[in-house]
Amino acid sequence: MKIKLEHGAGGELMGELIKEVILKNVTLNSAGGIGLEALDDGATIPFGDKHLVFTIDGHTVKPLFFPGGDVGRLAVSGTVNDLAVMGAKPLALGNSMIIQEGFDGEDFERILKSMDKTAQEVPVPIVTGDTKVVEDKVGIFVITAGIGIAERPISDSGAKVGDVVLVSGTVGDHGIALMSHREGIGFETELKSDVAPIWEVIKSVAKIIGWEHIHAMKDPTRGGLSNALNEIARKSNVGILVRESDIPVKPEVRAASDMLGINPYEVANEGKVVMIVDREFAEDALEAMRKTKLGREAAIIGEVTDQYVGKVLLETGIGGKRFLEPPVGDPVPRVC
C-alpha cells in the first residue's frame, strides 16, 4: 500500500491504517490501563490510587500563523486537551521540533513565545524537549507529549443509554477559519480559530457534578463533531441522536462552509469538548460550562439511545432524520 494524505486525516481511512497496519505491528501496547488498542485520546497508567495519563501529538498546519492562533498555540492546546478529555489534570509537557534549514529565526521565536503563553494559561510547564534541523522542505513540525493525573480516567467508550450530549461551544471554527484564510474569503467579522486549552471547562463541570457522572468525552479535532460522535457511539455500543437546530454554529462559519462546500460538522475544532453526562446532571453541567470563558456558547445537542447502535442520527431543522456519517478524510488538510 501507499500512504496517502487521507491516512492521517482522522477519518475512516486513518482508522483503517491504524487497525490494519499499526496495531498489527505494535503488540506490546498497554501499561496496565487504557492502551493503544483503545484508540482513545491518550493512555492511562495505574499509579497507586490514581492514574497517570500520557498522550502525544504531532502538529503540522498551513499557514503556521492563522487568525486566532499559530502552530505553537495549537501544539500546547492539542496536547492539554487530549489529557483533559480523559479527566486528567495536566502536569507537564515535552516538546520536539523538527525545523527546516533556513527557517526564519523571528518566526521560530514567535512560535516559542506563543507556546509559553498558552502553557501559562493552563498552567502547565514545558519541562523537556528535542530539536532537529533538516534539509527537507517541512517548514516546522511541532510534536508535543503530555502527562497528567486523573482520579478517575474517562474514556470515549463509556456513554450509556439515556445520557445527554453536550458540546462546549460553536463547532467548525478552527477548520473553516483556516480554509477561509487560505482561500481569501473575508467577512465583516473575521473568522478566528477556537484554538485554546479546555482544561478549565472540564474541571469546572467535574467540580459541580463529579467525575463519576461524566461518562465519556472527546475533543472534536480531525474529523470534527461528526467523527467524535461516531467514535463514541461505536465504542460505547450505543446510538446517538443529535438535533441540528441545537448544534451551535457561528453564522459566518455556516456561510463560509456553504461557499466552500464543506460540512462544518466534519472539520477540526481545537478548543471544544464533546461531553456525555448522566441525564440527571445535564443542566448542571451546561450551567457549569457556560460560567467559564470558553464555554459561554455551550449547548445540549442530543441524547444517547438504544436505536441504530454504533451510529449517529441527525434530526434536521425541518424535522427529518439522516445519519451523520464520519468523514472518509479531513475535507480541510493541514489544519492540525
Domain annotation for the chain: domains and CATH numbers: 5-150 (3.30.1330.10), 164-323 (3.90.650.10)
Please state the separation of Cα 264 from the chain's center in Å.
14
> What is the tens place of the pLDDT at every residue in 52-103?
999 999 999 999 999 999 999 999 999 999 999 999 999 999 999 999 999 9
Q: Please report which residue ranges of 122-272 form alpha helices under DSSP H.
A: 173-183, 199-209, 224-236, 251-260
Q: What is the pLDDT of residues 230-278, one digit of tens each?
A: 999 999 999 999 999 999 999 999 999 998 889 999 999 999 999 999 9
Structure-model confidence comparison of residues 176 and 317, the more confident one: 176
Q: What percent of the chain has pLDDT over 70?
A: 97
Confidence class for position 208, pLDDT limits 50, 70, 90: very high
Burial 39-75 (b: 16+ CB within 10 A, else e): bbbbbbbeeeeebbbbbebebbbeebebebbbbbbbb
Please count the CA atoms within 13 angstroms of the CA of 226 that sit on its side-chain side: 24
Mean pLDDT computed over 134-154: 95
Q: Look up residue 122 and give its three cell numbers.
A: 493552563
**The pLDDT value given to residue 330:** 67
